[in-house]
């Protein structure tokens, strides 16, 4: 049986979920890397990591090695971190350079990717240095964050952040300062974790502490072309300051954005957290949490962030436990596909439809 022989009904009330068979298997993950991760805009870093001309850092997307650099003209560029000679790395780690040099045979490249020199390469025929520059990737900056796309067929960057950019403008996240990063390894498929994030249906059972904070009756999700928004009102009578509470226009709110396929942006006027979901194998996922705040050096802000990070860690541990249990359940011979809660799982349905759109299309 072909594991991709299915369709996610556009009608939420009659639709079935992604089948269990797409939550494991190397061939499925390889297809996702090619058709989803290579063809979407992936968060790779922050502007503060490239403060000066020549500043660079290396990273990877779906196993593809990359280098990001601020050029002499102050423009931020990205390239595959692969020498055009014999595929050696042209940069390692982070730093500041006037040029890149391959660690294998010494080919040198300018910060704009053009090939500068090829030691001991005399006598090679039909070789044009202008044709052997570093291969560029698409780069966009949103607020203080740097995004990369590996494939020119990716949808335009603006389509992923349409509406979202307008909604977050009052929060001035471009000027928030980095506070802390925490990495979590989870024994589940990356889609299990995304599914879990995209619905509030599990909150009463999995997150009793968070349930005390939220006005669950007014919790709802709105979907857009390539992102969704969970609007989670906070009870004004909340018992403590651990959550990201604020007062705005007479109500309290916490906004949870998801951008296809693997980025979460959790926001209020004082703090921001991003959560990047990276598949390491079909059943192992890395989740990277980073927190940001206004006036992060003040004692008040630091105390608030300590509480926020601690409470977030509690919720993450609860999510890890249920996600790992779900991954085991997906392997059961008793389970093939599920159904969606019309009240709470429209965000999951939206994700599954996008997965189908990208992963099942030809080419």
Q: Which residues contact 168 (CB under 8 A, 6 or more apart)?
A: 143, 255, 257, 265, 267
Q: State the pLDDT confidence band at 38, using cuts at 50, 70 and 90.
A: very high
Instruction: Look at residue 98 in the predicted model and tell me its pLDDT.
Output: 97
Instruction: Look at residue 149 in the predicted model and tell me its pLDDT.
Output: 98
> What's the rounded mean pLDDT across residues 169-174?
89
Instruction: Kindly tell me if the per-residue pLDDT of 77 is higher than 70.
Output: yes
Buried b / exposed e over 326-343, threshold 16 CB at 10 Å, is: bbeebeeeeeeeeebeee
> What's the rounded mean pLDDT across residues 45-55?
98
Instruction: Look at residue 239 in the predicted model and tell me its pLDDT.
Output: 45
pLDDT digits (tens, 9 = 90+) for 87-112: 999 999 999 999 999 999 999 999 99
Q: State the pLDDT confidence band at 1, using cuts at 50, 70 and 90.
A: low
Instruction: Look at residue 243 in the predicted model and tell me its pLDDT.
Output: 45
Q: State the pLDDT confidence band at 231, using cuts at 50, 70 and 90.
A: confident
Instruction: Kindly tell me if the per-residue pLDDT of 238 is higher than 60.
Output: no
> What's the rounded mean pLDDT across residues 208-226?
88
- C-alpha pair distances (Å), 213 with each of 209, 222, 253, 256, 267: 7, 21, 11, 15, 16
What is the rounded CA–CA span in Å between residue 233 and residue 245? 9
Instruction: Kindly tell me if the per-residue pLDDT of 180 is higher than 60.
Output: yes
Inter-residue long-range contacts of 135-140, CB under 8 Å, 24+ positions, other chains counted: 135/79, 135/80, 135/82, 135/84, 136/77, 136/78, 136/79, 137/66, 137/78, 137/79, 137/80, 138/41, 138/78, 139/68, 139/76, 139/77, 139/78, 140/41
Helix (H, G, I), strand (E, B) or coil at 327: helix
More confident residue, 175 or 1: 175
Helix (H) or strand (E) holding 45: strand 42-46
Instruction: Kindly tell me if the per-residue pLDDT of 245 is higher than 60.
Output: no
Instruction: Kindly tell me if the per-residue pLDDT of 118 is higher than 70.
Output: yes
Per the CB < 8 A criterion, the answer to whether 148 and 137 are in contact is yes
What is the rounded CA–CA span in Å between residue 200 and residue 184? 21
What is the rounded CA–CA span in Å between residue 268 and residue 314? 19
Instruction: Kindly tell me if the per-residue pLDDT of 355 is higher than 70.
Output: yes
Instruction: Kindly tell me if the per-residue pLDDT of 4 is higher than 90.
Output: no
Instruction: Look at residue 362 in the predicted model and tell me its pLDDT.
Output: 58
> What's the rounded mean pLDDT across residues 227-238?
77
Q: State the pLDDT confidence band at 234, using cuts at 50, 70 and 90.
A: confident
Q: State the pLDDT confidence band at 270, using cuts at 50, 70 and 90.
A: confident
Q: Of 229-243, 300-314, 338-352, which one has max mean pLDDT?
A: 338-352
Instruction: Check residue 103 and give left, alpha or beta (phi > 0: left; psi -120 to 50: alpha).
Output: alpha
User: Which phi and psi angles does 69 have, rounded to 5°?
Assistant: -145, 145
Instruction: Look at residue 233 in the predicted model and tell me its pLDDT.
Output: 75
Q: State the pLDDT confidence band at 256, using cuts at 50, 70 and 90.
A: very high
Helix (H, G, I), strand (E, B) or coil at 241: coil
Average pLDDT for the chain: 92
- C-alpha pair distances (Å), 347 with each of 176, 194, 277: 28, 10, 17
**pTM of the full structure:** 0.92
More confident residue, 305 or 250: 305
Instruction: List beta partners, residue 77.
Output: 69
């Amino acid at each position: 049986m072909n594991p991709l022989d299915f369709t996610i009904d556009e009608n939420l009330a009659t639709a079935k979920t992604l089948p269990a068979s797409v939550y494991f298997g190397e061939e499925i993950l390889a297809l996702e890397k090619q058709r989803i991760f290579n063809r979407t805009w992936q968060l790779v870093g922050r502007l503060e990591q490239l403060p000066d001309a020549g500043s660079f850092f290396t990273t990877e997307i779906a196993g593809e090695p990359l280098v990001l650099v601020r050029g002499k003209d102050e423009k931020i560029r990205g390239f595959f971190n692969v020498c055009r000679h014999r595929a050696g790395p042209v940069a390692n780690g982070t730093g500041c350079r006037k040029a890149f040099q391959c660690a294998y045979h010494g080919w040198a490249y300018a910060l704009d990717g053009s090939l500068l020199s090829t030691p001991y390469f005399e006598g090679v025929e039909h070789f044009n240095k202008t044709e052997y520059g570093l291969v560029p990737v698409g780069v966009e900056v949103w607020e203080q964050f740097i995004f990369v796309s590996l494939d020119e067929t990716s949808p335009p960057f603006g389509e992923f952040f349409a509406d979202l950019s307008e909604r977050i403008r009052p929060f001035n996240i471009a000027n928030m300062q980095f506070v802390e990063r925490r990495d979590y390894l989870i024994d589940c498929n990356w889609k299990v974790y995304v599914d879990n994030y995209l619905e509030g249906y599990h909150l009463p059972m999995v997150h009793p502490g968070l349930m005390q904070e939220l006005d669950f009756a007014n919790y709802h999700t709105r979907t857009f072309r390539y992102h969704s928004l969970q609007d989670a009102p906070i009870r004004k009578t909340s018992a403590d300051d651990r959550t990201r509470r604020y007062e705005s226009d007479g109500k309290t709110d916490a906004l949870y954005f998801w951008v296809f396929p693997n980025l979460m942006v959790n926001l209020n006027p004082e703090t921001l957290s991003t959560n990047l979901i990276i598949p390491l194998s079909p059943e192992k996922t890395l989740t990277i949490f980073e927190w940001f705040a206004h006036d992060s050096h003040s004692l008040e802000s630091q105390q608030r962030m300590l509480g926020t990070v601690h409470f977030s860690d509690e919720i993450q541990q609860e999510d890890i436990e249920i996600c790992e249990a779900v991954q085991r359940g997906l392997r059961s011979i008793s389970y093939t596909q599920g159904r969606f809660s019309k009240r709470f799982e429209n965000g999951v349905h939206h994700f599954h439809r996008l997965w189908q759109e990208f992963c099942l299309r030809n080419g």
